[in-house]
Amino acid sequence: MSLPEFWFLLIAVLFTGYFVLEGFDFGVGMLLPIIGRGNEVKKRVVLNTIGPVWDGNEVWLLTGGGAMFAAFPEWYASLFSGFYLALLLILVGLIARACAIEWRGKIHDPRWRTWCDIGIGLGSWIPALAWGLAFANIVRGVKLNEHKQIQGNLFDLLNPYAILGGLTTLLLFLLHGAVFVALKTGNEVRDDAQRIIRGLFVPTAVVVAAFGIWTQLAYGHGWTWIPLALAVIGLVVAGFAATQGRDGWAFAGTAVTIAAATVLLFGSLFPNVLPSTINDAFSLTVDGRGGTVAASSTHYTLVVMSWVAVALVPVVLMYQAWTYWVFRKRLTMEQIPAPIGLPMAAVAES
């Protein structure tokens, strides 16, 4: 395996970890007004399930984006110039969600909490849909010209395949979040989450299967049937385990489905990193094979990055594993203390 191939694989691993971990964060954010409708204590239980881990999960996105920038600068530059509106929407959504989660408990006022809930909702629904749109377009290919610039506008990204990709990530993250809430809570909140799982499972399975088969038949390779099969198996295990009340197995099933679907996308993309629909010779590839454009950095840069990754990635993995182990217990409504935020009147007078 060459160094550019190693870094393509590492970026795929980082985005797989990001979608598996941040996927249930998005799902919990989308479910907040549904499970907690009319009941502030329920909302706080739902939000507390991701309280200790949501910001740590975003480390995977920062690491993946940084690795893409350093290892494949041509890919990063072309992608951000052509997808800047879609990526800006994701960025604004992530910022709104982070501020809303952090600020929600600081002021004890119903209107304040309502606005924070809106921020959490928008910051969860928009990225959950936009990530699928973006990656489906990357696999499908874009109008990349000889100057490594993407022609077209935001509406060019709204083709049938990409819209199906967006619905796939949206429903899959929603189901993943419901399974996570069921795993991390007890009593009434867990019952609500299990009802949502039963309602979501069939439409999610249909959409995921349609997108997976389309991806495999149009862009896949022989070996990518394996991740597609794993995605289906994971979803079946999740559905069966949820009906039996085996929340841990259900969560493992949805996690396997998201991981396998991400591998299917990156596997179908390789050796391209950004295919051109204008001319194959304009496509950005891992190492410039077949007369295409090499997107990778120099050999020396990749060597230095490899040593840094070998030293730091295990530290990040150990930190996150420790965090999940410490906060592994279920939450119930009886464990939620009274609000301690400042009253709005005191904030207005200060």
- Is pLDDT of 172 > 80? yes
Our measurement of the distance from residue 1's CA atom to the centroid of its chain's CA atoms, rounded to an integer in Å, reads 28
The predicted-structure confidence for 18-65, as pLDDT tens digits, reads as follows 999 999 999 999 999 888 788 888 889 999 899 888 888 888 888 888
- Predicted pLDDT at 349: 65
Q: What's the confidence (pLDDT) of residue 345?
A: 65
**Would the pTM count as exceeding 0.85?**
yes
DSSP secondary structure of 133-174: HHHHHHHH-B-B-TTS-B-S-GGGG--HHHHHHHHHHHHHHH
Q: How distant is the alpha carbon of residue 225 from its chain centre?
A: 22
DSSP 222: S
What is the mean predicted confidence (pLDDT) over 178-194?
91
Q: Which two tokens stand for residue 304?
A: 């230095």
| Rounded percentage of the chain residues whose pLDDT exceeds 70 | 98
Domain ranges of the chain: 3-210+270-332
Phi then psi dihedrals of residue 213, to 5 deg: -65, -40
Residue 348: the pLDDT is 62
Q: Is the pLDDT of residue 95 over 70?
A: yes
Could you identify the residue written with the tokens 């797989």?
A: 16
| Whether the predicted pLDDT of 154 surpasses 80 | no
pLDDT of residue 163: 94
What is the pLDDT at residue 331? 84
Sign, CA torsion 200/120/257/181: negative
Q: Tell me: the pLDDT tens digits for 255-301?
A: 999 999 999 999 999 888 888 888 888 888 888 777 788 888 888 88
